[in-house]
Copies of this chain bind each other. A is one copy, B any other.
Amino acid sequence: MANPLPLQARAAVLESFSQPLRSHSFPLPTAPEPGAALVKTEMAGICGTDVHLWRGELPIRLPIILGHETVGTLVSLGEGLKSDWSGQPLAVGDRITWTSTTSCGRCYYCAVKHQPTRCPQRRAYGIGYPCNVPPHFLGGYAEYHYLQPGANLFKLPETLATESVIGAGCALITAIHGVERTGIEWQDTVVVQGTGPVGIAAIAVAKSSGAGRVIAIGGPDHRLVMARTFGADEVISIERTPEPTDRILAVKQLTGGWGADAVLECVGHPSAVVEGMEMCRDGGKYLVLGHYCDAGPISFNPHIITRKQLQVFGSWSSEPRHLQAAIAFLERHSTRFPFASMVTHRFSLAEANEALQTTASLQSAKSVIVPDSGLLKPSL
């Protein structure tokens, strides 16, 4: 890096819920502490969760810099930081991404029960850190991003486009973890409820995990087209088949009357769970993946779990190894599963509010912020 670092850098800051983000300058950390790193942000994804955060639907402290799906270039490395999570050597100039959270590695959930996603110490970049104290830059909507000691960094292979990583976003690693917990068997028939980012990713992961046939349920139509692109063999439109009983019937008809081997819920409405269990064959599997937020209760009869002897799985967030696998998958299958094409809308850092609104209005497949205007290409 021939250019000296600026003393200050800009970020789009959420100061009040449901109010426009405001541009602020903060002092850049002069030198990363041991094990830490400073990164120049290349691209930051806007996740649907960011919209929930912006609206104040989740308990967070303000002010913050949003953004937990980020790719950047290493600007400086703290003492002792020599390799990424996979063991590859790291150097200034490397393009990297990272997990948004870091588990402690020593607690009951990390060490004893191997459930590191439930580590009580986890806080997420772009969600859990106020930005009014140093090192300030702990979210993606900014010119720079600080990575604390212990962060899980991943050097990106040259052949992997930044758009692939951000287009996949946290939806892909969420889906990888969920499908892993569920366990797809070879040639299984799998239903995916929902064709949002997690649903699309779940289709790709299920299909590449050995599913023989994937039935996607969602909408609107352009999302069903995308579902087919990412591997759905059949699609059921919630617009043209608005009644849950009709959708259940449709799945039964596609499965010889039995139901699917596995049903993956990627919707987030509790009614989807009631509907989806009816779509399982007896002895089948059901994944509750979309309920990251608390969407409230529903009338539910647990008799179905006994009678159909179901297996029901939950999955929360993801582990670093899922991001590692995601990177390998994206690099290997950029044609078969074109996650780069998900990046449909690009914005400068100054346009962060527009980026957020485009996601909120479901106009985009994926909106991104490209802080360095020299890297900004026109929206597709």
Assess whether B181 is in contact with A186, with CB atoms less than 8 Å apart: no
A208-B231 Cα distance, complex, nearest whole Å:
13
* Known contacts A212-B325, A298-B299, A282 near B187 by CB under 8 Å: no
Shortest beta-carbon distance, A177 to chain B, in Å? 9
Measured in the bound complex, the distance between the Cα atoms of B256 and A290 in whole Å is 30
CA distance A52 to B208 in the complex (A): 37
In the complex, the answer to whether B176 meets A308 with C-beta atoms within 8 Å is no
Query: B301 near A288 (CB under 8 angstroms)?
Result: no
Given known A-B contacts A86-B112, A282-B118, A300 and B298 have beta carbons under 8 A apart? yes
Which of A176, A209, A282, A310 is packed against the most chain B CB atoms within 10 Å? A282
Q: Is residue A75 contacting chain B, with contact meaning CB distance below 8 A? A: no
Considering only residues 291-320 of chain A, those with a C-beta below 8 Å from chain B are: 291-316, 320
User: How far does the alpha carbon of A273 sit from the alpha carbon of B310 in the complex, in Å?
Assistant: 15
* A315 near B311: Cβ-Cβ < 8 Å: no
CB contacts under 8 Å to B, within A245-299, are 256, 258, 261, 270, 273, 281-283, 288-299
In the complex, chain B residues whose CB is within 8 Å of the CB of A321 = 111-112
Bound state CA distance, A186 and B202, in angstroms? 13
What CA separation (Å) do A283 and B111 show in the bound complex?
Answer: 13
Cβ–Cβ contact B332 & A306, under 8 A: no
- Say whether B316 contacts A309, CB under 8 Å: yes
Q: Is the interface of A mostly helix, strand, loop or mixed?
A: mixed
Q: How far is the CB of A161 from chain B (nearest CB, A)?
A: 18
Given contacts A181-B309, A208-B186, contact A291 B281 (CB under 8 A): no
Q: How far is the CA of A109 from the CA of B213 in the complex (A)?
A: 19
Report the copy number of this chain in the oligomer.
Answer: 4
Bound Cα distance A321, B185 (Å): 12
Contact A305 B283 (CB under 8 A): no
Q: Determine if B306 and A314 form an interchain contact, defined as CB atoms under 8 angstroms apart.
A: yes
Query: How far apart are the CA atoms of A87 and B307 in the complex, in Å?
Result: 23
Q: Is the CB of B300 within 8 A of A308?
A: no
Contacts of A107 in B (CB 8 A): 87
Query: What 0/1 pattern do residues 199 to 224 of A give for CB contact below 8 A with B?
Result: 00000010011101100000000000
Interchain CB contact under 8 A, B302 and A113: no
List, in ascending order, chain B residues with CB within 8 A of A26's CB.
Answer: none
Q: Are B301 and A312 in contact (CB under 8 A)?
A: no
Chain B residue nearest to A308 (CB atoms) is B314
Task: List residues of chain B with CB within 8 A of the CB of A297.
Answer: 299-301
Query: Is A108 an interface residue when CB atoms closer than 8 A count as contact?
Result: yes
Q: Is the CB of A270 within 8 A of B307?
A: no
Specify which chain B residues have a CB less than 8 angstroms from the CB of A108 in the assembled complex. 86-87, 256, 258
Contacting residues of chain A (113-159) with chain B, CB-CB under 8 angstroms: 113-115, 117-118
When C-beta atoms are compared, the residue in chain B nearest to A209 turns out to be: B210
Indicate whether A179 reaches chain B with its CB closer than 8 angstroms: yes
Contact A109 B282 (CB under 8 A): yes
A89 at the interface (CB under 8 A from B): no
- In the complex, chain B residues whose CB is within 8 Å of the CB of A300: 270, 297-300, 302
Q: Which residues on A are within 8 Å of B, measured CB to CB?
A: 85-87, 105-109, 111-115, 117-118, 176, 179-181, 185-187, 205, 208-210, 212-213, 256, 258, 261, 270, 273, 281-283, 288-316, 320-321, 324-325, 328-329, 332
Q: Which 7 A-B pairs have the closest CB atoms?
A: A115-B283, A305-B314, A312-B312, A291-B306, A300-B300, A118-B282, A288-B305
